[in-house]
Structure 1
Amino acid sequence: MNEGEKKVVSRMIALYCRSKHSSGKELCTECRSLQEYALQRLETCRFGEEKPTCAKCPVHCYKNSMREKIKEVMRFAGPRMLLVHPVAAIRHLYRERRHDRDFTAKVKANRNR
């Protein structure tokens, strides 16, 4: 699995936690649990390196409660990543666009067979 994706989600959760729950460097229990769950889901994603963004993925592998939590984190942290981690945010956006485009093309090609 792409280590860059893991770093981005970890940074987003850390940014969210520092702003909402704790002022220290350690994640609170709830955010640590979410991070472990998200990293485990990324590690076992059946699409591997070709994984699209979760919003475009045909398989929803997060359970509903965790999906809502990660959406909240991403809505909050996503825009702030450009200020806090600009290089990582831009790389993520580039990879996201490229992977989504490539994944969509493969899905369409498989449907036309």
Structure 2
Amino acid sequence: MRRVPDAPVVPLGRTEVVLCPECSELHAYALARIGRCPHMGTKTFCSACPTHCYKPAMRERIREVMRWSGPRMLFFRPIPAIRHALVTLRAKRNNP
């Protein structure tokens, strides 16, 4: 794999992944929004948050990423994946 200058390297399990420009833009945006989130100390996941910090276009891109990566999380991080599913279902049930 060719290394792109200034491309972020993200840990993935025991390996590291170099992000493409689109993914690195989404990664930087997500980190910036998380850094400014007023509910970060009390919430569990952004999908269950009462305030949506992301722009609609970025929320859709996050959904696309999660549609792909969510099922794969079961194989690499099963406990957090199940916890995420339970919290999301509970939030949807409480806020119709």
What band does the TM-score fall into relative to the shorter chain? 0.5 to 0.7
Q: Note if contact 1:52-1:96 (Cα within 8 Å) is conserved in structure 2.
A: no
2:83 to 89, 94, 106: 94
Deviation, structure 1 residue 59: 0.8
Equivalent AA in structure 1 for residue 38 of structure 2:
R
CA distances 1:33-83 after superposition (whole Å, capped 9, x unpaired): 001111111111101221242222111110011100001101110111112
Q: Note if contact 1:41-1:62 (Cα within 8 Å) is conserved in structure 2.
A: yes
| Higher relative contact order (CA closer than 8 Å, sequence separation 6+) | 1
Q: RMSD across aligned C-alpha pairs, in angstroms?
A: 3.2
Identity of aligned pairs, percent?
43
- Richer in helix (by share): 1
Aligned mates of 2:71, 2:84 — CA distance in 1:
16
Which residues in structure 2 correspond to 1:12-91 (within 5 Å)?
25-83=17-75, 85-86=76-77, 89-91=78-80
- Richer in strand (by share): 2
In structure 2, runs of 5+ residues without a counterpart are: 1-9, 91-96
In the superposition, the TM-score normalised over structure 2's length comes to 0.64
